[in-house]
Amino acid sequence: MPASLVVEKHLSLVRACTICPNMHRPAVVGRPVRSKILLVGQAPGDKEPVLGRPFAWTAGKTLFKWFDAALGWNEEQVRERVYFAAVCRCFPGKRLIGGDRVPDEQEIANCSRWLEAEFKLLRPELVLPVGKLAISQFLPVNSLNEVIGQNLRINCRGYETDCVPLPHPSGASTWHRMEPGITHLNRALKLIAAHPAALQAGAKF
Protein backbone atom coordinates (compact mmCIF):
# COMPACT_ATOMS: atom_id res chain seq x y z
CA MET A 1 0.00 0.00 0.00
CA PRO A 2 1.42 3.44 -0.93
CA ALA A 3 2.71 5.42 2.04
CA SER A 4 0.16 8.20 1.61
CA LEU A 5 -2.69 5.66 1.70
CA VAL A 6 -1.34 4.17 4.93
CA VAL A 7 -1.36 7.64 6.50
CA GLU A 8 -4.84 8.36 5.08
CA LYS A 9 -6.13 5.13 6.63
CA HIS A 10 -4.77 6.29 9.99
CA LEU A 11 -6.40 9.72 9.58
CA SER A 12 -9.74 8.10 8.75
CA LEU A 13 -9.59 6.33 12.13
CA VAL A 14 -8.85 9.63 13.85
CA ARG A 15 -11.81 11.29 12.12
CA ALA A 16 -14.11 8.47 13.24
CA CYS A 17 -13.11 8.66 16.92
CA THR A 18 -15.99 9.27 19.37
CA ILE A 19 -14.32 8.38 22.68
CA CYS A 20 -14.56 11.72 24.50
CA PRO A 21 -18.18 12.77 25.19
CA ASN A 22 -17.40 16.41 25.97
CA MET A 23 -15.32 17.03 22.86
CA HIS A 24 -16.90 18.70 19.83
CA ARG A 25 -16.54 16.61 16.71
CA PRO A 26 -15.41 16.29 13.98
CA ALA A 27 -11.76 15.64 14.75
CA VAL A 28 -9.44 17.95 12.85
CA VAL A 29 -6.58 16.38 10.91
CA GLY A 30 -3.91 17.54 8.49
CA ARG A 31 -2.92 16.12 5.14
CA PRO A 32 -1.75 12.51 4.71
CA VAL A 33 1.91 13.43 4.26
CA ARG A 34 4.63 10.91 5.13
CA SER A 35 6.85 13.53 6.72
CA LYS A 36 9.82 13.21 9.05
CA ILE A 37 8.72 16.48 10.67
CA LEU A 38 5.90 16.10 13.19
CA LEU A 39 4.23 19.30 14.39
CA VAL A 40 2.11 18.83 17.51
CA GLY A 41 -0.43 21.53 18.33
CA GLN A 42 -2.59 21.74 21.44
CA ALA A 43 -6.19 21.36 20.24
CA PRO A 44 -8.24 22.95 17.44
CA GLY A 45 -10.27 26.07 18.05
CA ASP A 46 -13.84 26.58 16.93
CA LYS A 47 -12.87 27.67 13.39
CA GLU A 48 -10.74 24.63 12.51
CA PRO A 49 -13.57 22.02 12.40
CA VAL A 50 -15.55 24.30 10.08
CA LEU A 51 -12.60 24.99 7.78
CA GLY A 52 -11.36 21.39 7.96
CA ARG A 53 -7.67 21.87 8.73
CA PRO A 54 -5.38 22.56 11.69
CA PHE A 55 -4.16 26.10 12.36
CA ALA A 56 -6.74 27.54 9.99
CA TRP A 57 -7.32 30.85 11.73
CA THR A 58 -5.37 33.67 13.40
CA ALA A 59 -2.78 31.51 15.17
CA GLY A 60 -2.16 29.70 11.92
CA LYS A 61 -1.41 32.91 10.07
CA THR A 62 1.32 33.68 12.60
CA LEU A 63 2.68 30.12 12.56
CA PHE A 64 3.00 30.12 8.77
CA LYS A 65 4.71 33.52 8.87
CA TRP A 66 7.33 31.96 11.14
CA PHE A 67 7.95 29.15 8.65
CA ASP A 68 8.10 31.58 5.76
CA ALA A 69 10.63 33.79 7.55
CA ALA A 70 12.82 30.85 8.59
CA LEU A 71 12.60 28.49 5.62
CA GLY A 72 10.91 30.43 2.84
CA TRP A 73 7.95 27.99 2.91
CA ASN A 74 4.46 29.35 2.35
CA GLU A 75 1.39 27.81 4.00
CA GLU A 76 0.76 25.37 1.17
CA GLN A 77 4.36 24.16 1.27
CA VAL A 78 4.31 23.76 5.05
CA ARG A 79 1.14 21.67 4.90
CA GLU A 80 2.71 19.45 2.21
CA ARG A 81 6.05 19.05 4.05
CA VAL A 82 5.01 18.81 7.71
CA TYR A 83 2.68 16.31 9.37
CA PHE A 84 0.18 18.12 11.62
CA ALA A 85 -0.85 16.37 14.83
CA ALA A 86 -2.19 17.64 18.16
CA VAL A 87 -2.48 16.73 21.83
CA CYS A 88 -6.26 16.54 21.27
CA ARG A 89 -7.82 16.41 17.82
CA CYS A 90 -11.29 17.73 18.63
CA PHE A 91 -12.39 21.20 19.72
CA PRO A 92 -12.77 21.11 23.53
CA GLY A 93 -15.43 23.83 23.62
CA LYS A 94 -15.54 27.19 25.34
CA ARG A 95 -15.03 27.95 29.02
CA LEU A 96 -17.87 29.55 30.91
CA ILE A 97 -15.83 32.75 31.16
CA GLY A 98 -13.71 33.54 28.09
CA GLY A 99 -11.42 31.41 25.96
CA ASP A 100 -11.34 27.75 24.93
CA ARG A 101 -11.56 24.96 27.49
CA VAL A 102 -8.29 23.16 28.24
CA PRO A 103 -8.63 19.40 27.60
CA ASP A 104 -8.68 17.38 30.80
CA GLU A 105 -6.21 14.61 31.67
CA GLN A 106 -8.51 11.82 30.54
CA GLU A 107 -9.15 13.47 27.17
CA ILE A 108 -5.41 13.94 26.68
CA ALA A 109 -4.81 10.29 27.61
CA ASN A 110 -7.56 9.12 25.23
CA CYS A 111 -6.12 11.07 22.31
CA SER A 112 -2.51 10.06 23.00
CA ARG A 113 -3.15 6.76 21.18
CA TRP A 114 -3.17 8.66 17.89
CA LEU A 115 0.16 10.34 18.57
CA GLU A 116 1.67 7.00 19.58
CA ALA A 117 0.47 5.49 16.29
CA GLU A 118 1.96 8.41 14.35
CA PHE A 119 5.36 7.90 15.94
CA LYS A 120 5.29 4.27 14.81
CA LEU A 121 4.01 5.18 11.36
CA LEU A 122 6.22 8.17 10.59
CA ARG A 123 9.30 7.65 12.82
CA PRO A 124 9.82 11.43 12.91
CA GLU A 125 13.30 12.89 13.01
CA LEU A 126 12.10 16.30 14.22
CA VAL A 127 9.20 17.01 16.58
CA LEU A 128 7.83 20.56 16.87
CA PRO A 129 5.50 20.88 19.88
CA VAL A 130 3.63 24.19 19.72
CA GLY A 131 2.53 25.73 23.00
CA LYS A 132 3.06 24.77 26.62
CA LEU A 133 0.46 21.98 26.69
CA ALA A 134 2.03 20.30 23.67
CA ILE A 135 5.58 20.81 24.94
CA SER A 136 4.68 19.24 28.28
CA GLN A 137 3.80 15.98 26.51
CA PHE A 138 7.48 15.60 25.63
CA LEU A 139 9.46 17.67 28.12
CA PRO A 140 9.13 19.05 31.63
CA VAL A 141 8.45 22.76 31.21
CA ASN A 142 8.13 25.33 33.97
CA SER A 143 8.87 28.31 31.74
CA LEU A 144 9.01 28.80 27.98
CA ASN A 145 12.34 30.56 28.48
CA GLU A 146 13.83 27.22 29.56
CA VAL A 147 12.94 25.27 26.41
CA ILE A 148 12.28 27.57 23.44
CA GLY A 149 15.40 28.07 21.34
CA GLN A 150 16.87 24.64 21.98
CA ASN A 151 17.15 21.39 20.05
CA LEU A 152 16.54 18.73 22.70
CA ARG A 153 17.02 15.02 22.15
CA ILE A 154 14.01 13.11 23.49
CA ASN A 155 12.91 9.50 23.77
CA CYS A 156 9.19 9.34 23.16
CA ARG A 157 6.94 6.39 22.45
CA GLY A 158 10.10 4.29 22.21
CA TYR A 159 11.71 6.47 19.53
CA GLU A 160 14.61 8.87 19.87
CA THR A 161 14.20 12.11 17.98
CA ASP A 162 15.07 15.80 18.02
CA CYS A 163 12.61 18.20 19.58
CA VAL A 164 12.50 21.95 18.91
CA PRO A 165 9.66 23.48 20.96
CA LEU A 166 7.80 26.54 19.72
CA PRO A 167 5.59 29.00 21.61
CA HIS A 168 1.91 29.09 20.78
CA PRO A 169 1.30 31.67 18.01
CA SER A 170 -1.97 32.81 19.58
CA GLY A 171 -2.77 36.49 19.35
CA ALA A 172 -3.66 36.36 23.04
CA SER A 173 -0.06 35.50 23.92
CA THR A 174 2.52 38.26 24.17
CA TRP A 175 5.49 35.99 24.94
CA HIS A 176 6.64 35.56 21.35
CA ARG A 177 6.21 39.29 20.61
CA MET A 178 8.49 40.68 23.31
CA GLU A 179 11.93 39.93 24.71
CA PRO A 180 13.32 37.50 25.60
CA GLY A 181 10.66 35.60 23.66
CA ILE A 182 11.60 37.16 20.32
CA THR A 183 15.21 36.05 20.66
CA HIS A 184 14.29 32.53 21.83
CA LEU A 185 11.79 32.13 18.98
CA ASN A 186 14.27 33.27 16.33
CA ARG A 187 16.83 30.83 17.69
CA ALA A 188 14.29 28.01 17.49
CA LEU A 189 13.36 28.86 13.91
CA LYS A 190 17.04 28.85 12.88
CA LEU A 191 17.43 25.40 14.44
CA ILE A 192 14.45 24.13 12.45
CA ALA A 193 15.74 25.63 9.19
CA ALA A 194 19.15 23.99 9.68
CA HIS A 195 17.80 20.58 10.69
CA PRO A 196 18.42 17.72 8.22
CA ALA A 197 14.71 16.80 8.23
CA ALA A 198 13.78 20.31 7.06
CA LEU A 199 16.56 20.42 4.50
CA GLN A 200 15.43 17.06 3.13
CA ALA A 201 11.78 18.13 3.05
CA GLY A 202 12.66 21.32 1.17
CA ALA A 203 14.79 19.41 -1.34
CA LYS A 204 11.89 17.15 -2.31
CA PHE A 205 9.95 20.00 -3.95
| Cα separations in angstroms, 177 against 99, 152, 181 | 20, 23, 7
Measured between alpha carbons, how far is 75 from 138 in angstroms, rounded to an integer?
A: 26
pTM attached to this predicted model: 0.95
Which CATH architecture best describes the domain 3-203?
3-Layer(aba) Sandwich (3.40)
Cα–chain center distance at 115: 11
Cis peptide before 140 (omega within 30 of 0): no
Strand order in the sheet with 37-41: 83-86, 37-41, 126-129, 159-163, 152-156
CA-nearest of 92, 80, 35 to 53 is: 80
Divide the 205 residues of the chain into consecutive groups of 10 and give the mean pLDDT of each group: 83 97 96 97 96 96 97 97 98 87 97 96 97 96 95 91 96 91 98 98 76
CA-nearest of 163, 169, 159 to 138 is: 163
